Amino acid sequence: MKRRHAIMLLALMAAGYLAIWGNEPAPPAQAATLPPSTKRVPAKVTTAGAAPATVAALVPRAALMQEPASDAATDPFSTRQPPAPPPPVASKPLPPPPPVAPPLPFQFLGKKLEDGRWEIYLDAAEQTLIAHQGDTLLGRYRVDEIRPPNLQLTYLPLNQPQTLAIGQGEE
């Protein structure tokens, strides 16, 4: 066995000893076993010009233990009331928005240029319509202008213009 191994074995044994028996309390001091007449009393050591040491008076435990603050700001478990809501502001109700035309009920099916005049084929609720410029459709829409790629319609109850995309023309 090499010297290094012997040292490591010795250190391992010392660690095992300390692990098992190292937690025992220390034996009582020798001064306690001597008879009272043979106890040594240390001499007072004072230095020249130094003030004698003073011991602070004991404070009663009740004075050290203060009542906990009952302030809600420092108590994390206190219940807090939410702040009162601000008073309602008296304001005029907003006027209703102006009426808007509904979305177009038409779906573009096709178009045809015949004798220099466009003919547009539209689907409206399973009904096929043929539209020319100036026609009234479903009693609510007027065809104002047919100029590919757009068809200009007017919603008659509100007199609002609307546009339907119909694709490029083949003039």
pLDDT tens, 110-164?
999 988 899 999 999 889 999 999 999 999 999 999 999 999 999 999 999 999 9
Answer yes or no: are the C-beta atoms of 129 and 107 closer than 8 Å. Answer: no
Rounded Cα–Cα distance for residues 170 and 112 (Å): 9
Answer yes or no: are the C-beta atoms of 168 and 110 closer than 8 Å. Answer: no
Global pTM reads 0.47
Answer yes or no: are the C-beta atoms of 4 and 10 closer than 8 Å. Answer: no
- The string of pLDDT tens digits covering residues 4-61 is 999 999 999 999 988 888 777 666 555 445 455 555 555 555 555 666 677 888 888 8
Burial of 151 (0-12, 13-18, 19+ CB in 10 A): buried
